[in-house]
């Protein structure tokens, strides 16, 4: 784990949970982050004495992994009747 704590803003667990909710819409309670810290699966953090400090970059990286890739509209994927470059309907092939 990177030991350079001072190069980025770090948030305590309660503020980290609020940041994830406000920025990404991820409902993740501080108690859930605490569970992830002991069991794994959560964002990386620094431990200073008994306090967990979460760098913003690690919270952003973890949120991006949780959210996954962007998806288009299901109808756009299912058929090719819409030209995404012009926004017009493609000509019918009858």
How does pLDDT run across 54-70, given as a tens digit for each residue? 999 999 999 999 999 88
pLDDT at 84 exceeding the cut of 80: no
Q: Where are the domains of the chain?
A: 10-67
CA-to-CA distance for 11 and 33, rounded, in angstroms? 12
pLDDT at 45 over 60: yes
Which residue in 52, 55, 54, 65 sits closest to 24, CA to CA? 65
**Which residues fall within 8 angstroms of residue 17, CB to CB, at 6 or more apart?**
28, 29, 30, 32, 33
Largest CA distance in the chain: 72
């Amino acid at each position: 784990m990177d030991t350079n704590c001072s190069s980025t803003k770090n948030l305590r667990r309660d503020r980290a949970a609020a940041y994830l909710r406000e920025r990404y819409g991820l409902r993740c309670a501080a108690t859930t982050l605490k569970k992830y810290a002991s069991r794994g699966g959560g964002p990386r953090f620094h431990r200073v004495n008994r306090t967990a400090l979460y760098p913003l970059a690690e919270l952003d990286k973890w949120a991006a992994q949780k959210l996954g890739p962007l998806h288009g509209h299901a109808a756009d994927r299912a058929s090719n009747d819409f030209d995404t470059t012009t926004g017009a309907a493609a000509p019918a092939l009858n």
